[in-house]
Amino acid sequence: MVTARLVAPVLAYNVAIGVGNLAMTLRIVELGGSVSDVGLAALLYNLFFALTSPIWPVLLAPRIGRRKTVSLGALLTSIAFTLSVPASQPLHIVLLNIVYGLGASMIPPALTVIFIEFIEKPRARVIGFLNQVSGVGWLIGLLIGSYPMIELKDLLFIASAIGLVAAIKSALLLPEPLGILETRKIAVLSLIPWISDRARQLPIILFQYPRLSRLVALLMDVYKSLKIRLSRTLPLLNLGTIVLFTSIGLFFTVIPVYLRSYMGLSDSSVFALNAIAALVSTVAFTYVSRVAEVNDKVWNMLLSAVALRTLLFTAPVTYMAITDMDVVVYASLSMLFALFGITWSMIALSLNTLVISLSEINKRDERLGQLNTMISTGIILGSMLAGLIGELGYTISFIVSGILAAIALTIYYKAKTTIIA
């Protein structure tokens, strides 16, 4: 009974974003927007998601509860989809991604803690189950959106209606965790609160004598603090996550254009490849969650997935010499995206499980919010990097993606071997 109460809101919300997420992007193009407009929309979404994700667990959830936090997030998402329907300019939808990002950032930390507290199973299985339900909802949304007779305005209206249903179901059905939240001031990024404190000293240092010696002392203090921080597991895990998702952001910003413009695939073929990844990922969560029940296995899962991603990100380089698309090429592309799905299930499950296991009970949702911030920060950096090196060619972009994944792998390995959490 409790499981059904948990699943219904999650399923409804992910169906809504499965329909509305892509529909908002396509609506920008329909209104005459350019690739830059689409990129700006993604930047605003991820920026506001990153900035606010670690704040809601300590600013909002202690006051209104996690259940209402999830409901409010779904409501804001629904509003973003609703206002996209009458939009007459691409800029309108671009700016609505701010509302979308704010709403989306409220949901994952609170929802994860609710699932963990009320489903009496190992954490890895609970997180895998949550991701699986989310994936099923996302797939249903994609299937609704793929129906050719429905216009984008209608799709956004459907997404808005389902999002509203998700908000209502969240308020009525989700149980409220019994754990007491610690209300305290937090920084936006877990690695910079100590930097911000020292940054306040800069005006004093720069305008008092002797300036140079004090500035050197400040820089040495920052260096020592950074060294201490990066000798701990959780900060290293966060740093590795930023680097990994910079790699992911770079690769998945470039790959759709590569498939469509360079390899000549149709839009439907590109969507089909992404659907394969989503489907395989959803199925894989079931099996992966059974493996990740002890800490060492979770670490090994993360390291294996990132190592495989290092190879997968450079794999498209091998297609550069292909002139004719045939069944073998389509099959290899399908396999490539299936591996993306498998590795994504491993990465998503292991990161969430490790963050929870390394966090105090009353700080779990805060740490998960910070994890979302690391992910969004990496994606933002990856998208920006794609704009900077995209003109140098696809090969450079794919190679840099692979190098960044290899760096993330090194950082994660160091985090695993670090004793202090």
Decide: pTM greater than 0.75.
Answer: no
Which CATH architecture best describes the domain 230-421?
Up-down Bundle (1.20)
Domain 230-421 in the same topology as domain 1-177: yes
pLDDT, tens digit, for every residue of 237-286? 889 999 999 999 888 877 776 776 677 776 567 667 877 888 888 888 77
Distance CA 345, CA 221 (A): 40
Distance CA 25, CA 334 (A): 24
16, 109, 130, 356, 367 from 115: Cα distances, Å: 20, 10, 7, 12, 16
Contact status, residue 107 vs residue 73, Cβ threshold 8 Å? yes
Quote the pLDDT of residue 244: 94
Distance CA 330, CA 313 (A): 17
Sequence-separated (6 or more) residues with CB below 8 Å from residue 32: 90
Quote the pLDDT of residue 34: 66
Q: Which two tokens stand for residue 112?
A: 């994860």
- CA 366 centroid distance within chain: 16
Quote the pLDDT of residue 42: 76
Q: Where are the domains of the chain?
A: 1-177, 193-229, 230-421
- Per DSSP, the residues of 251-274 read HHHHHHHIIIIIS---HHHHHHHH
Quote the pLDDT of residue 108: 82
Q: Which two tokens stand for residue 131?
A: 């991701």
Which CATH architecture best describes the domain 1-177?
Up-down Bundle (1.20)
Distance CA 286, CA 318 (A): 32
| Of residues 221, 220, 216, the one with CA closest to residue 197 | 221
- Per DSSP, the residues of 185-234 read ---SSTT-HHHHHHHTTHHHHHTSSSHHHHHHHHHHHHHHHHHHHTTSHH
pLDDT in tens, the chain (421 residues): 567 788 888 999 999 998 888 788 778 777 887 666 766 777 788 788 878 877 877 777 778 888 888 899 999 999 999 999 999 898 999 899 999 999 998 888 788 888 887 777 777 678 778 877 888 888 888 778 777 678 878 989 999 999 999 999 888 888 776 554 433 333 333 333 333 333 334 444 344 445 455 555 555 555 455 445 555 788 898 899 999 999 998 888 777 767 766 777 765 676 678 778 888 888 887 778 777 665 568 888 999 999 999 999 998 887 766 656 677 788 889 999 999 999 998 998 888 888 887 777 667 767 777 787 788 789 888 877 876 776 677 888 899 999 999 999 999 999 888 755 5
- CA 357 centroid distance within chain: 20
Sequence-separated (6 or more) residues with CB below 8 Å from residue 58: 181, 182, 183, 184, 185, 186, 366
Quickly count: other Cβ atoms within 10 Å of residue 149's Cβ. 5
Distance CA 16, CA 157 (A): 10
| Of residues 184, 406, 222, the one with CA closest to residue 313 | 406
